[in-house]
Chains A and B, each alone.
Chain A
Amino acid sequence: MEHDKKPDSGPVQDFLNAEEPRRDFFTQAAAVVTGAALGVVPLFAGLAVFTDPLRKRERKSEGGADAEGFLKVAPLDGLLKGGEPRRYEVIDDRTDAWNLFPREAVGAVYLVRPVDGLVKAFNVKCPHAGCSVDFKAENACFQCPCHDSSFKPNDGLIANPNSPSPRGLDELEVKEVDGMVWVKYEEFQPGTSHKVPEA
């Protein structure tokens, strides 16, 4: 490795003294572009997989849902007219990434049967932060165990105006067919003043 070098020449100096700056610029640009291309491919593949949960998935099984998406929840005669709200689990096929669990509890609802008219269904999740609300018979209201939001039993609206919940309990669509209560089970984003369905 015998070369003609000035004693004070370091690598940086050599570089700065390069005789073909134009060619060097193109070499540098080409090196940067090629290098960037090398990183893009694995990063693209990785980020595509990472962001897969943002993709809307087709439902793979109908579960117990009818054509309109209603699920059979409870027999109507299990609810007293004008009685207290009763809690029921909602049974449907549950998908968890690659697994499909047929007929499992996917959520829960409170059903209230008024003296007149259709049964009302409320999602048990508090619209504030998603905790599961209890029905407190002694206070005659739904109460959230997390931050004390309270809701009226007959229409689910906010009972105590100091409740942190931005809206009343989420009412769900209901139909009564052959003595059974069917509910269109949905979940809504917490923290908003009106219902926004979760994707």
Chain B
Amino acid sequence: MNAFLNWLDNRTGIRATVHEALFERIPGGARWRYVWGSTLVFAFSVQVITGLFLWMAYSPSSLTAWESVYFITYDMQFGWLLRGLHHFMAQAMVVLLAIHLMQVIIDGAYKAPREVNFWLGLILMQIVLGLSLTGYLLPWDQKGFWATNVATKLMTLVPVVGTKLQRLVVGGPTYGHHTLTRFFAMHAGVLPGLLIAFLALHIAVFRRHGIKVADPLHKKDAMFWPDQVLKDAVACLGVLLVVLLLTIFVGAELGAPADPSQAYAAARPEWYFLFLFQFLKYFPGETEIWGALIIPGVMFGVLALMPFLAKWKLGHRFNIAYMVIVLCGIGYLTAQAWHEDNRGPKSADYHRAVADAQTRAERVRELIEYGEGISEKGGRALLRSDPKTAGPDLFKRNCAVCHSFDGHDGTGGPQEKATASDLGGFGSRDWLKGFVVEPGGTKYFGPTANGSFNGKPIGDTFSNGAMARWAKEHAGKMSSGEIAAVVEFLLSQGDRTDLGPVDVDLAAKGREVFELGSLDANAEGAESRACLQCHEMVIDGAPLGTQGLAPGPDLSRYGSEAWLRDFLLNPDAPHNYGDRNAMPSYKDRMTEAEFNILLKWLRRQWLEVKAKK
């Protein structure tokens, strides 16, 4: 071993290099306060290791970035650990950076002859923040996408070249494949390369001047190895433990896949940029450039000039006071941002947006795990074509002008001026029962009394129409068994898979009630009570009763997708509402794909994991 080392040393001078690296004298002895620079080097090393391995599984394009991160997080062994380490170590690095900077300023380590190294440190800080910013986008989830969108929009504020700069960074007029390839090249190539180069300079210049010792007589002198190394290593271990705990108990989040069509009201930058986000709120309209560029630029400029300011008698004190004020300001703005989101008047909106984002993130996971997996269209397409996710918004835009849904607009928002039935639970036993018993009620035709169609008031055409009058006269005379039976019969026509199995015997009785008006053939007035008096129905190709005479809507396959499609496309057809119709046709109102989603959502035809488990 020794012979080999001699051979190697003879050719490389490795012993001297190692000695120089390890045996640096530390006047006043090893101290805990010197550990921060080393913890930063350690944090960066962890980022390099975890980053390289993540790179082996990550695919930067707008159809594969989220998908590959999903695969890393939920499918690959210990992928969650690898991603969590990288995610939280990045945040730890920002904290350590702040501590290191404060330490340097308080100890006066920025003063002559260490100015250059101070500036190198400031450059390193910018690189680290650049790494954070570029890394935040890479998972291509809603959070990263919208937050980075804001960050790059701010670039347009740069005078003269702003819009061109933004376009260069984004890689085109809109966000997409090239935004990711560019951000990734910056994040994994350019910025780490620069960081390594500047870090090497930083450490070399640091060694030239040695450690800045505030108190050389603190203790006996010691060597960097092993005294300070041990302290550094223990501090690094502490950092690693915190990061590990965060990884295990909090975990690196992965939101729903980025979707430019799906605004994300809860988009916030990473917490350490939150103060800038909050600061911008103070600069309305065209003054934004002050908050986004000029003031932060000037403040950073003061920081860079600190070595010169220190030459002034009170300069060092000024510098410390400046840092304290800036940090307090950052702390205040961060707290204010947090407070506005969690306690402020708009916090409910924020929390709803966060909850909605959470729901979408969980839903896409369900769709992948229990559905068809991820097709080549990517994760975003899964949510866009999922009735459970996309249905509410389609209802709000297309139906909630008149209809309500469980009292709201489909998405949970307010619906105060409904002029048509409430479609929450459409086609279910409860919904059908309510309709049969009180069709003129507030959940059904009642609200139409306040509506109008083609400029004419609807009046009591429906709220006191034939069906409402029928119910007033007959529903009370029917037994609850008869009502349950006819409800089951109507339900049996809808091919519903979400309402439990059809009670076939009960449905058969219901058919009897539908045709004859009662289960008791001798019941008084039963015939005039029969549904068939007003509604036609064809079962398995065979019509019940006589065709072509009934004034009410045809109930063949009532509630099925085919029935609903026809009803929405042709509400004014003679077999639907005919002349009395007061509902617009849904022809050409939306794309075929959207229409299908809406039909499925109204009938609750979507992947439900509990059923599948």
Binding site for B on A (CB under 8 A): 1-3, 11-12, 14-15, 18, 24, 27-28, 30-31, 34-35, 37-38, 41-52, 55, 60-61, 95, 97-102
Contacts and interface: CB of A to CB of B under 8 A. Distances in A.
A154 B72 CA distance: 46
Contacts of A24: 226
Residue among B19, B25, B67 with the most chain A CB within 10 A? B25
A49 B82 contact: yes
Interface in B40-85: 42, 45-46, 49-50, 52-54, 56-57, 64, 67-68, 70-72, 75-79, 81-82, 85
B233 A14 contact: no
Contact of B25 (A14, A18, A42, A100): A14
Contacts of A95: 373
B237 A45 contact: no
Task: Name the 4 nearest CB pairs between A and B, nearest first.
Answer: A100-B373, A46-B53, A48-B78, A11-B23
Interface residues of B, number: 49
Given A1-B213, A14-B25, A41 B223 contact: no
Given A27-B226, A31-B225, A98 B75 contact: yes
A15 B42 contact: no
Contacts of A50: 53, 56
A60 B24 contact: no
B-side interface mostly: helix
Given A50-B53, A98-B67, A99-B373, A15 B78 contact: no
A101 B78 contact: no
B25 A11 contact: yes
B223 A52 contact: no
Contacts of A38: 42, 233, 236-237, 240
Contact of A100 (B49, B57, B372): B372
Interface string B548-577: 000000000000000000000000000000
B81 A45 contact: yes
Residue among A15, A61, A102 with the most chain B CB within 10 A? A15
B373 A60 contact: yes
Interface in B11-54: 19, 23-25, 27, 42, 45-46, 49-50, 52-54
B237 A34 contact: yes
A28 B67 contact: no
Given A41-B240, A98-B67, 8 more contacts: A27-B230, A30-B226, A45-B82, A48-B81, A49-B57, A49-B79, A50-B56, A51-B77
Contacts of B374: 98-100
A14 B373 contact: no
B330 to A, nearest CB: 29
Given A52-B77, A98-B67, A43 B237 contact: no
Given A34-B237, A45-B50, A99-B67, A12 B19 contact: yes
A6 B306 CA distance: 37
Given A46-B82, A49-B56, A49-B76, A102 B372 contact: yes
A15 B19 CA distance: 10
B178 to A, nearest CB: 21
A34 B77 contact: no
A49 B72 contact: yes
B234 interface: yes
B71 A97 contact: yes
22 contacts: A1-B216, A3-B216, A11-B19, A11-B25, A30-B230, A31-B226, A31-B230, A34-B234, A35-B229, A37-B237, A38-B236, A38-B240, A42-B49, A44-B78, A45-B78, A46-B82, A47-B53, A48-B78, A60-B373, A61-B373, A100-B374, A102-B375
Nearest to A4: B221
Given A41-B244, A52-B76, A99-B376, A46 B225 contact: no
A-side interface mostly: helix
Interface string B318-355: 00000000000000000000000000000000000000
Interface string B235-277: 0110010001000000000000000000000000000000000
B227 interface: yes
Nearest to A93: B373
Contacts of B79: 49, 52
Contacts of B81: 45, 48
A23 B45 CA distance: 29
Interface in B112-140: none
Contact of B226 (A28, A37, A43): A28
Nearest to B378: A99
Contacts of B85: 41-42, 45
A97 B68 contact: yes
Residue among B45, B49, B56 with the most chain A CB within 10 A? B49
A100 B53 CA distance: 24
B209 to A, nearest CB: 11
Contacts of B71: 97-98
Nearest to A99: B374
Nearest to A51: B77
Interface string B357-381: 0000000000000001111100000
B46 A42 contact: yes
Nearest to A37: B237
A99 B226 contact: no
Contacts of A60: 373
Given A41-B244, A45-B53, A98 B226 contact: no
Contacts of B52: 46
A3 B373 contact: no
A62 B157 CA distance: 54
Nearest to A48: B78
Contacts of A45: 50, 53, 78, 81-82, 85
B230 A42 contact: no
Nearest to A61: B373
Nearest to A52: B76
Nearest to B224: A11
B372 to A, nearest CB: 7
Residue among B50, B78, B213, B226 with the most chain A CB within 10 A? B226
Contacts of A41: 46, 85, 240, 244
Residue among A38, A51, A95, A100 with the most chain B CB within 10 A? A38
Contacts of A31: 225-226, 229-230, 233
Nearest to B52: A46
Contacts of B72: 49
B30 to A, nearest CB: 9
Nearest to B243: A41
B233 A35 contact: yes
Nearest to A33: B233
Contact of B82 (A28, A34, A48): A48
Given A11-B25, A45-B81, A100 B375 contact: yes
B438 to A, nearest CB: 47
Contacts of B42: 38
A98 to B, nearest CB: 4
Nearest to A55: B77
Nearest to B23: A11
A80 B67 CA distance: 46
Residue among A42, A47, A60 with the most chain B CB within 10 A? A42
Contacts of B19: 11-12
